[in-house]
Structure 1
Amino acid sequence: MISRIRAKRRGSPNPLVGALAIVAALAASCSAVTGGDGVVDARAGLPTTTAPQTTETSPGAGRDGATPTSSDDLDIPLTTQDRPTTTESTDQAPPADVPEPVTTPPPSAGAWGEVVVLIESFWDENFTQFAGSGSFEPLDRDRIVAVSDQTRDLPACDLANISARDVEDNAFAAVCPEGQLVVWDDDDLFAELFDQYGVTGPTVVLAHEMGHAAQFQAGFINNPTLILEQQADCVAGAYAAWAAERSIAPFDTAAGLDAAVGATVSFRDHPGSSAADSQAHGSGFDRVRAFQDGFDRGVGYCAQYPELSLPITEFPFSTFEEAQSGGNLPFNDLISLVSPYLNSVYADLNDDWQAMELSAGDLDGWRNAHRSIGDNATGTAMGLMFAKRHQVLNNLPSEGEGALLQQACLTGAAFAPLVFFDERISPDNLSLSPGDMDEAVLTMIRIVETNQDRLGDGFLFEAVAALRTGFTEGFDSCDP
């Protein structure tokens, strides 16, 4: 979705203006956009052709569109020299360091009751760090509900009965006079998430929604919706780290973290949505960034979200024509625009840089990804190629997993001036369009899934983290 620039975007990375107060009932959700009835549609933000489909052991298979079947299709040469060879052990794994439960499983939560109990145990330990004082109050057991076709009686909210139709394809948390409420569609939404991402998909949603419950209790309610949603993504990541430390499934394996990337990006807002919209939840890149913030830095950092200038990449299309095209340039046009920019970036970093000329033939293996993911799949491939040339010039490792992580970081750093204006380096004729950084994440998913035999579990989480680090912290953060 790279576009020819018509007007430079300048100013703060955070475009939010004013406070959008969250209301009771159906206000806070893991989902993307709302329908006319005001109920949030949890699957409206799913990419129409590119949502990564994962299992616990093989994250990242695309829903629609052709997926390359070999690394040659992606023109990303890889070796496994960085990852030591391991053999499967027959020893029994040590018991998980599972804390004593602070609650009993809600009978109405179905198969996910134990997950709810674990998340409440997490908040029992971490609420004070998040809120500054006080303790987490577990929700009433009958107000945490997995809604199925057989569900007849749902809890009331503000004296109004919630129907199964309200929850269809949805999950949400709400503040009600009768007490806090968390509900989800167990038949469709959670079944689909489980099919695509294993246990990780529904667990990420529950951690997000229970994060809203913690927000309500901590008093974070009067903040812009986008900040509240990404803060909930952040605390979901903090829960994942807490669970990983205690060997609690699904985050006791690296594959669970990879699946979390796919699940989180799948709930992105539609490209072109405004960050200031009252139902904004965030771009896929921003939501994954928030989840990884929580995983890396914990709930104390998540608590600072309302005060931070977050690097938000969600913004509307600048013209009607850009919206009509989805911001996507034709394959050849993109290459001719991006090549000069990347050459200028790396000439600034390397005194002896010789212009690297890429033709459509050099990137022929990326045509399918250009169509199915978007034009920044090709842009990301070009970024990785230029980054590899930089590594070679500087006598840095250019093959293997460690090298690919650095390439992802450098690519993220090169993309940042195309979103946030940098007087020194931002070009006059090029910018990223809405959804382009989502496409970068989806491209990393495609690369990892295509090279699953050589890139082990957990590499996707690391690769997206490297892309994020370069984008938010710049080229210096990519130094070995």
Structure 2
Amino acid sequence: MRHASGRLILLVAVVSTALVASACTQAVPGRPVAGKVVAKDGVDPSFIKGTDGGDIDRLGATAITDVDKYWEQAYPATFGEKWRPIEGGVYSVDTADPAAKPPPCTEKASDVEGNAFYCPSADAIAWDRAALLPVLRDGYGDAAVVIVLAHEMGHAVQRRMGITPEAERKNPEKYPTILTEAMADCFAGSFIRWVNDGKSEHLDIGTDTLDAALGALISFRDPVGTSPNDKSAHGNAFDRVSAFQDGYQEGTKFCSGMTVQTRKFTQQGFTNVDDRDRGGNLPFDEMLDAITPDLDNYYKALVTSKGKTWTPPKTTPTQKEPDCSGDQGPVAFCPKDKSVEIEVAEELPELHAKIGDYATGILLASRYGMAARAALGKEVDGDEASAGALCLAGAYTREVFTRRQGFGLSPGDLDEAVKVLLAYDYAARDGSGEASVAPGFKRVDVFRSGVFVGDKACGLG
């Protein structure tokens, strides 16, 4: 989803791999399967250059039409000027057809393979209808296609703001790619909020559908370990979803005001060879051995700072899902004896292997957060408890992310947190396994509050 002329980045092989690997594309315990979505009635795609008139282009036409309608209203309200629709046209390219005509910013149709992009020199948008949009729709639902095209329209907005390729080349420190991509994600989020507020003529995107669609946004993240200073850096999954959520919550004026001074990115490169060679992941047993004493130290400091006594929770490995207090998933806080049970035989090791070691980390951090709530005399049951424990997992993550010594986060760990939170609600269940923060979109938001603000955001008083 790169907007610079002739430099497209997402190959279909990358998308296909992401669809297979992402935990967000399959039915999992604790969350509803995302709905199919989205068009209440489709828009005639005849205005699209190269269209075959099929369902994919009808969905694309519907998305482009309603995004354009959104900016007719939002652009004047944000910038005080009239919105200028796309002038160079919208292109659908059948990259499976050797005779297909190439769109602007490309030399041949195959240059579009696996991509959707905005061409600033022609003020045009193009997509691969053979190997991108159908893959996104099949893997993540119709809403994924809408988000991707809303993102590309966001780059058209930037051009109208004066953020052109020439401006980026002249002042790369002011307009690094990672910032302009975050801004486009933010604009896409503001549009989806408009849709969810019932203002879209043709689109209807529910929150359960949105959870799955964000999996598509994650699939466009940079490879783990990419430096934020890389000229082509687009952002990790946490940064991209954060930008989208900021747009959803704060609107277009917030998005347009993003700068390198005000926008904090969590993407980071590897700092040592061993971590790089492991892909940023510790083996399951090593992760448990490393993180449990660190969690104990963090929560001890938190609890004692508030004048209470911290007793380290006894951690007990089990061969089956913990049942000490309702269904909390593979890691559970047991209110009766204030212990933590950890299932080490199947599900937790499988999550660890499928998503990464911080999938294990965030589940443990939230259950230790529940133990901290108990030590502080706070409720461990109910909505406040489930959100509070998840927020504390974010606060702990904030602590280890900023460390320079000892146990800390590897590149990719925050992405793993986003993946597990979108796909599972385990980290957001209360101490009885009943109440939970839902949907995944909201879980990520609560977690982010802990990451960005710390424990002050977690309702501890």
- 2:400 and 2:275 mapped to 1: Cα distance? 16
Task: Identify unmatched segments of 5+ residues in structure 2.
Answer: 32-39, 52-56, 169-174, 319-341
Question: Of residues 240, 243, 257 in structure 1, which corresponds to 2:195?
Answer: 243
- 1:477 and 1:435 mapped to 2: Cα distance? 24
Q: Check if 1:41 corresponds to 2:16.
A: no
Q: Check if 1:474 corresponds to 2:454.
A: yes
- 1:282 and 1:475 mapped to 2: Cα distance? 25
Q: CA deviation at 1:450?
A: 12
Q: CA deviation at 1:195?
A: 0.7
SS in 2 for 1:184: strand
- 2:427 and 2:282 mapped to 1: Cα distance? 25
Q: Give the letter for the 2:188 counterpart.
A: A
2:339 is aligned to none
2:81 is aligned to 134
Deviates more, 1:435-444 or 1:143-152: 143-152
Q: Give the letter for the 1:284 counterpart.
A: A
- 1:310 and 1:372 mapped to 2: Cα distance? 31
Identical columns (%): 28
1:113–1:47 distance in 2 versus 1, CA, 3 Å: closer
Question: Of residues 299, 305, 311 in structure 2, which corresponds to 1:354?
Answer: 311
Deviates more, 1:354-363 or 1:439-448: 354-363
1:398–1:472 distance in 2 versus 1, CA, 3 Å: same
Question: Of residues 328, 341, 344 in structure 1, which corresponds to 2:294?
Answer: 341
Q: CA deviation at 1:328?
A: 1.1
Counterparts in 2 of 1:109-258, with a 5 A limit? 110-111=57-58, 112-130=60-78, 132-140=79-87, 143-148=89-94, 149-150=96-97, 152-157=100-105, 162-176=107-121, 179-221=122-164, 222=168, 223-246=175-198, 248=200, 251-258=204-211
1:43–1:204 distance in 2 versus 1, CA, 3 Å: farther
Counterparts in 2 of 1:37-436, with a 5 A limit? 40-41=10-11, 44=14, 47=18, 50-54=21-25, 61=27, 106-108=47-49, 110-111=57-58, 112-130=60-78, 132-140=79-87, 143-148=89-94, 149-150=96-97, 152-157=100-105, 162-176=107-121, 179-221=122-164, 222=168, 223-246=175-198, 248=200, 251-351=204-304, 352-358=309-315, 360-361=317-318, 362-364=342-344, 365-421=347-403, 428-436=405-413
1:10 is aligned to none
Q: CA deviation at 1:360?
A: 4.8
SS in 1 for 2:269: coil
Deviates more, 1:217-226 or 1:107-116: 107-116
Retained in 1: the 8 A contact 2:359–2:417?
yes
1:105–1:305 distance in 2 versus 1, CA, 3 Å: farther
Retained in 1: the 8 A contact 2:284–2:352?
yes
Q: CA deviation at 1:401?
A: 4.9
Task: Provide the aligned C-alpha RMSD in A.
Answer: 3.3
Q: CA deviation at 1:340?
A: 1.9
Retained in 1: the 8 A contact 2:24–2:423?
no
Retained in 2: the 8 A contact 1:43–1:170?
no
1:292–1:306 distance in 2 versus 1, CA, 3 Å: same
- 2:177 and 2:233 mapped to 1: Cα distance? 6
Q: Give the letter for the 2:406 counterpart.
A: N
Retained in 1: the 8 A contact 2:390–2:446?
yes
1:49–1:401 distance in 2 versus 1, CA, 3 Å: farther
Retained in 2: the 8 A contact 1:240–1:295?
yes
- 1:48 and 1:324 mapped to 2: Cα distance? 24
Q: Can you list the C-alpha shifts for 1:227-258, whole angstroms capped at 9, x where unaligned?
A: 00011001000000111112546554222322
- 1:133 and 1:104 mapped to 2: Cα distance? 31
SS in 2 for 1:289: helix
Q: Can you list the C-alpha shifts for 1:438-463, whole angstroms capped at 9, x where unaligned?
A: 11111213324999998899511110
Retained in 1: the 8 A contact 2:450–2:457?
yes
Retained in 1: the 8 A contact 2:394–2:451?
yes
Retained in 1: the 8 A contact 2:92–2:128?
yes
SS in 1 for 2:259: helix
SS in 1 for 2:14: coil
- 1:211 and 1:357 mapped to 2: Cα distance? 50
- 1:244 and 1:339 mapped to 2: Cα distance? 40
Retained in 2: the 8 A contact 1:258–1:458?
no
1:444–1:250 distance in 2 versus 1, CA, 3 Å: farther
Deviates more, 1:112-121 or 1:448-457: 448-457
Q: How many residues align?
A: 400
Q: CA deviation at 1:41?
A: 2.9
Retained in 1: the 8 A contact 2:3–2:152?
no
Deviates more, 1:346-355 or 1:269-278: 346-355
1:106–1:473 distance in 2 versus 1, CA, 3 Å: farther
- 1:43 and 1:407 mapped to 2: Cα distance? 38
Q: Can you list the C-alpha shifts for 1:65-119, whole angstroms capped at 9, x where unaligned?
A: xx6xx57xxxxxx9xxxxxxxxxxxxxxxxx9x9xx9x99733362111210110
Retained in 1: the 8 A contact 2:143–2:205?
no
Deviates more, 1:44-53 or 1:215-224: 44-53
- 2:12 and 2:261 mapped to 1: Cα distance? 27
Retained in 2: the 8 A contact 1:243–1:251?
yes
TM-score normalised to structure 1 length: 0.75
Q: Give the letter for the 1:355 counterpart.
A: P
Q: CA deviation at 1:48?
A: 7.9
Q: Give the letter for the 1:106 counterpart.
A: F
1:302–1:373 distance in 2 versus 1, CA, 3 Å: same
2:423 is aligned to 446
1:451–1:411 distance in 2 versus 1, CA, 3 Å: closer
Q: Give the letter for the 2:349 counterpart.
A: R
1:474–1:457 distance in 2 versus 1, CA, 3 Å: closer
Retained in 2: the 8 A contact 1:410–1:470?
yes
- 1:227 and 1:267 mapped to 2: Cα distance? 15
- 1:113 and 1:48 mapped to 2: Cα distance? 24
